[in-house]
Amino acid sequence: MESENQTDVAEFLLLGLSEDPELQPLLFGLFMTRYLVTVLGNVLIILGVSSDCHLHTPMYFFLSNLSFIDICFTSTIVPKMLVNIQTENKAITYAGCLTQVYFFLFFFMCMDNMLLTVMAYDRYVAICQPLYYTVIMNPCRCGLLVLLSSLISFLNALLHSLMVLHLSFCTDLKIPHFFCDLAQILILACSDTLTNNILSYLVAGLLGVGPLLGIIFSYTRIVSSILGIPSAGGKYKAFATCGSHLTVVFLFYGTCVGVYFGSVSSLPSRSRAVASVVYTVVIPMMNPFIYSLRNRDIKGALRKFISRTGSFS
């Protein structure tokens, strides 16, 4: 098959979830609605936390950052998909595709992962070392943890993106997905991708399995400490502070394992694309509901913010 250098690649074609013309209006409506709900819900979380001084704590600081990351992540993928559906044009430029790869790796594959690990560590310190919590999780350390997570995510995404730049691609540039997924791009490459694949597995082990082990260790210690609390009310209160985070962790890792390593990975590319909707659209939309519905402080802060906004208008 004839190949051409990557600098000559003008654009890729994103085939999307379905090529049926009758389904396009339905897909547009569904994704537009979910995108708006995702942005609005996460913005409300950020505004509610920032407007209430009682929520200026490490846990809610990390939650605000997670909401911001979810907004950026979905904004990297969904708007382009909506434009393609509306214009009936499946093309995405080479630079645009590479940009999607970079920000997908930065926001979702790494930053989300790192923040969930940091939030688990925060809960571990709060429950297992409550007397030292304010000392350990001081504002400076919280900022450094987010900064370190951002730096690691930046370097990881940059490394993968630079490795893609060295690839040459075949004449068939159709991606059976609704965004530029790194795995799909490597399949289209005509040049040797062994180094890219080794790097992907190595990074997945370090930045995927490593943080997961950290979360498991944190919650093992947390459960051990909670079981030592004599009162049932104390146990329930301690578990309640971790419930929302645990729900998000299960959703995040469950979908990632299912799509990339589980039985879903053996399905055709289009079926994997449908499964990818869960972590690209559904989870970022559900996070605000999970944290607000299970958290009285968040609900109270949102009510105060909305009432103040209404009084000003």
CATH number of the domain within which 191 lies:
1.20.1070.10
Residue 183 lies in a domain: yes
pLDDT of residue 270: 62
pLDDT of residue 1: 39
Residue 185 lies in a domain: yes
Residue 313 lies in a domain: no
Residue 88 lies in a domain: yes
Residue 109 lies in a domain: yes
Q: Which domain holds residue 161?
A: 3-308
pLDDT tens across the length of the chain (313 residues): 344 444 456 788 898 887 888 888 999 999 999 999 999 999 988 988 888 888 889 999 999 999 999 999 999 999 999 999 998 888 999 999 999 999 999 988 789 999 999 999 999 999 999 899 999 999 999 999 999 999 999 999 999 999 998 888 877 788 888 899 888 888 888 888 889 989 988 988 888 888 999 999 999 999 998 888 787 777 777 777 788 888 888 888 887 777 666 544 555 566 677 777 888 888 888 888 888 766 777 777 777 777 777 665 5
Identify whether the C-beta of residue 36 lies closer than 8 Å to the C-beta of residue 74.
Answer: no
pLDDT of residue 5: 43
Give me the DSSP letters along the chain: --EE-GGG--EEEE--S---GGGHHHHHHHHHHHHHHHHHHHHHHHHHHHH-GGG-SHHHHHHHHHHHHHHHHHHHHHHHHHHHHHHT--EEEHHHHHHHHHHIIIIIIIIIHHHHHHHHHHHHHHHHSGGGHHHHT-HHHHHHHHHHHHHHHHHHHHHHHHHHHT--EES--EESSSS--HHHHHHHBSS--HHHHHHHHHHHIIIIIHHHHHHHHHHHHHHHHHHT-SSHHHHHHHHHHHHHHHHHHHHHHHHHHHHHTSGGGGS-HHHHHHHHHIIIIIHHHHHHHHHHHT-HHHHHHHHHHHHHHHHH-
Question: Domain total for the chain?
Answer: 1
Residue 12 lies in a domain: yes
